[in-house]
Amino acid sequence: MSDRLAAMLPGWGIDIKGAGPLYHRLRLALEKAILSGKLKEGDVLYPERDLAEHVRVSRVTVRKAIDHLVQDGFLVRRRGSGTFVAGSAVRADRPPLCANSLTGDISWRGSDTKVECIGRSTSHPAPEEMMTLGLSGDSHVVRITHLRSSAGQPLAIERTCISSEFLPHARAVTSSICNTLADANFRPVRAIQRTFASNIEGPDATLLGVAIGTAGLLTKRVAYLASGRAIEFTRSLFRGDAEGFVSELTFLEN
């Protein structure tokens, strides 16, 4: 076991306290090490058995954490060679939830957008929400859905999920989610966003005014507090025939 890796990872036991499953905590520790430069692009990750022995968890837990980091683009597996740190992550120059746009520093070309809240609810988290936010099945989440449009044409459906630990009531959001969280001292400091091609189905097609099966763009964004805790999970579904959107990123020095 590398001294560098041993110094980086805490000596967690199976009785560790705090919210979220062990694999999620290990995932966050490795993610922080990559973003901070402790693990650099091209570094090989040590075998699952060594990691499991050091953090005192099962190899299944380690494998699950690594699987998620591969899925999120932090790690890459090379057959016969091992698992390596992928290219450096891009960090936005301001908190992602505080942009007055669709997702992060994204704005639609051509005109201003109108935002309409079309749904608020509180319930138990769905499996994807549990996994992403590190929640248990008996916890509660607040869901807020917005429809964004321009010149009377729907552009995107944005569904935000936040643990009730940070946002107890959906009605507490009177201006923006960002402002509400900031007022409660839960302002996110970074986010990871993934983008997928997706067909628009069922009720979503009706809301966006397109035929069922029309091509669209799906983004999934997870925002984090300075502590590393995931606080917000937003899924945004965009029409595929809109003018397009522009994203401006600022690259920061390590």
- For residues 69 and 159, membership in a common domain is answered with no
Task: Quote the DSSP letter at residue 81.
Answer: T
Q: How far apart are CA 6 and CA 207, in angstroms?
A: 51
Is the pLDDT at 150 greater than 70, yes or no? Answer: yes
- For residues 21 and 67, membership in a common domain is answered with yes
Q: Which of 55, 85, 115 is the last residue of a domain?
A: 85
pTM of the predicted structure, to 2 decimals: 0.63
Contacts of 17 (CB under 8 A, 6+ apart): none
- To 10 degrees, the CA torsion angle through 214, 237, 240, 94? -170
Which residue range forms the structural domain that includes residue 202? 96-247
- For residues 223 and 127, membership in a common domain is answered with yes
Task: Quote the DSSP letter at residue 239.
Answer: E
Residue 192 main-chain phi, psi, to 5 deg:
-120, 130
* Bridge-based pairing state of the strands 141-150 and 114-123: antiparallel
| Of 78-87, 118-127, 139-148, 199-208, minimum mean pLDDT range | 78-87
How far CA 148 is from CA of 36, 48, 212, 226, in Å, comes to: 35, 44, 19, 29
Task: Quote the DSSP letter at residue 90.
Answer: P
Q: Which of 22, 52, 85 is the last residue of a domain?
A: 85
- For residues 75 and 107, membership in a common domain is answered with no
Give residue-wise pLDDT tens across range 169-219.
777 776 677 777 877 788 888 888 888 889 999 999 999 999 999 999 999
Residue 77 bridge partners (DSSP)? 83
Residue 118 resides in a domain = yes
Is the pLDDT at 158 greater than 90, yes or no? Answer: yes
- For residues 115 and 69, membership in a common domain is answered with no
Give residue-wise pLDDT tens across range 3-59.
555 555 554 333 344 556 778 778 877 877 777 777 788 888 878 888 888 777 889
Task: Provide the residue type at 198 as one letter.
Answer: S
Q: Which residue has the higher pLDDT, 120 or 74?
A: 120
The answer to whether 190 and 171 have CB atoms below 8 angstroms apart is no
Q: How far apart are CA 95 and CA 223, in angstroms?
A: 9
- For residues 124 and 178, membership in a common domain is answered with yes
CATH number, position 17: 1.10.10.10
pLDDT of residue 94: 38
SS3 assignment, position 180: helix
Strand intervals (E) in 111-229: 114-123, 141-150, 153-163, 190-200, 214-224
Contacts of 186 (CB under 8 A, 6+ apart): 166, 225, 231
Q: What's the number of domains the chain is made of?
A: 2
- For residues 67 and 175, membership in a common domain is answered with no
